[in-house]
């Protein structure tokens, strides 16, 4: 236990922020370049997790456990979001036989 | 210390693989690996409760739900239509601009202090439970209503419409 907690002592907060920014941008790029609705959904999950990790890092940095409680609530929210979103994707697939988002281009107008 | 950088490299590597894998099933499996590296990050921060919840809820429940849905809708017969290279290039440029903006804003702050875990009990279940059920009791109950309504909505959306219902 002591060695694990000693492990974290020497890392600047900036490196956590940069790591989470990189993963968040990968999520953004994934939303922009993919057309499969499920992969887009997974990119959204990636963004949520990057924010979770940053909240936990700030919580440790400030010595305040509130950030970790927020992460818990974000996880509950993500579970609800995934349930509804996947149900919508299944319904779209049943109606159009495809989960390509370009099929839904009438939503644009 | 070098453990963090190794795990951080693995996180970035697997998350790039998530968005570039052609087969959606491979994409989900890479996402599982990415979330596993996040769990290791939480353990390194001694946030044990979050590590366990991330492991069970994300990797155990949410990603299995993804996998089941993907296998339910049989995608293997048609491959995913590719976006044109111009759109891909524009997407990468857009995401890269976002990243550059954040990193540049970070540079303006200069070198930050180091992350020091002052209180080793910070992320333990006992400490978090006390805070959750003392200060955040009302949001906790509201989130249970949220989960209930999400479940009802998912069942309502995913069931087939019958003639009598309409």
List pLDDT tens digits, range A36-50: 888 899 999 999 999
Across the interface, whether the CB atoms of B69 and A38 are under 8 A apart is answered yes
Q: Confidence band (pLDDT; 50, 70, 90) for A7? A: low
Which whole-number Å values give the CA distances from B70 to B17, B24, B76, in the listed order? 18, 8, 10
- Mean pLDDT across chain A, nearest whole number? 85
- Scanning A20-39 for CB atoms below 8 A from B yields 21-30, 32-36, 38-39
| pLDDT beyond 70 at B76 | no
Taking the Cβ of residue A97 and every Cβ of chain B, the question of whether any pair is shorter than 8 Å is answered with: no
Give pLDDT tens digits for A17-37: 999 999 999 999 999 988 888
Give pLDDT tens digits for B94-149: 999 999 998 898 888 776 777 777 777 788 888 889 999 999 999 999 999 999 99
Taking the Cβ of residue A104 and every Cβ of chain B, the question of whether any pair is shorter than 8 Å is answered with: no
Name which of B18, B19, B77, B96 to mutate to probe chain A: the one with the most chain A Cβ atoms within 10 A of its Cβ: B19
| pLDDT beyond 80 at A102 | no
Across the interface, whether the CB atoms of A16 and B78 are under 8 A apart is answered no
Give, as one character, the DSSP assignment of residue B110: -
Question: Among candidates A58, A69, A59, A74, which has minimal Cα distance to B130?
Answer: A69
Residues A89 and B157: beta-carbon distance below 8 Å = no
ipTM of the complex, rounded to two decimals: 0.88
Name which of A1, A3, A6, A19 to mutate to probe chain B: the one with the most chain B Cβ atoms within 10 A of its Cβ: A19
Nearest Cβ partner for B47 among A27, A60, A88 = A60
Q: How many residues does chain B have?
A: 166
Nearest Cβ partner for B151 among A29, A81, A83 = A83
Chain B residues in contact with A62 (beta carbon < 8 A): none
Chain B residues in contact with A77 (beta carbon < 8 A): 143, 146
Give, as one character, the DSSP assignment of residue B58: I
Residues B77 and B35: beta-carbon distance below 8 Å = no
Q: Check residue A92 and give its pLDDT.
A: 85
């Amino acid at each position: 236990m002591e060695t694990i907690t000693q492990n974290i002592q020497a890392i600047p907060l900036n490196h956590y922020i940069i790591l989470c920014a990189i993963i968040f941008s990968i999520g953004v790029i994934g939303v922009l370049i993919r057309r499969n609705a499920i992969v887009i959904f997974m990119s959204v999950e990636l963004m949520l997790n990057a924010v979770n990790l940053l909240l936990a890092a700030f919580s440790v940095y400030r010595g305040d456990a509130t950030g970790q409680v927020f992460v818990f609530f974000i996880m509950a929210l993500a579970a609800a979001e995934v349930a509804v979103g996947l149900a919508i994707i299944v319904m779209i697939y049943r109606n159009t036989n495809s989960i390509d988002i370009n099929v839904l281009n009438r939503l644009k107008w | 210390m070098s453990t963090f950088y190794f795990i951080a490299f693995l996180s970035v590597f697997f998350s790039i693989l998530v968005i570039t894998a052609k087969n959606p099933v491979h994409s989900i499996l890479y996402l599982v690996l990415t979330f596993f590296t996040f769990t290791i990050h939480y353990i390194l921060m001694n946030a044990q409760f979050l590590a366990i919840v991330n492991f069970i809820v994300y990797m155990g429940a949410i990603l299995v739900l993804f996998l089941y849905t993907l296998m339910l809708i049989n995608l293997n017969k048609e491959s995913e239509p590719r976006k044109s290279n111009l759109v891909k290039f524009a997407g990468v440029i857009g995401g890269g601009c976002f990243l550059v903006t954040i990193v540049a804003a970070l540079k303006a702050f200069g070198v930050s202090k180091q992350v020091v875990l002052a209180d080793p009990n910070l992320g333990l279940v006992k400490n978090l439970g006390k805070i959750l059920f003392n200060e955040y009791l009302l949001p906790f109950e509201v989130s249970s209503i949220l989960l209930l309504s999400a479940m009802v909505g998912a069942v309502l959306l995913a069931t087939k419409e019958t003639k009598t219902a309409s």
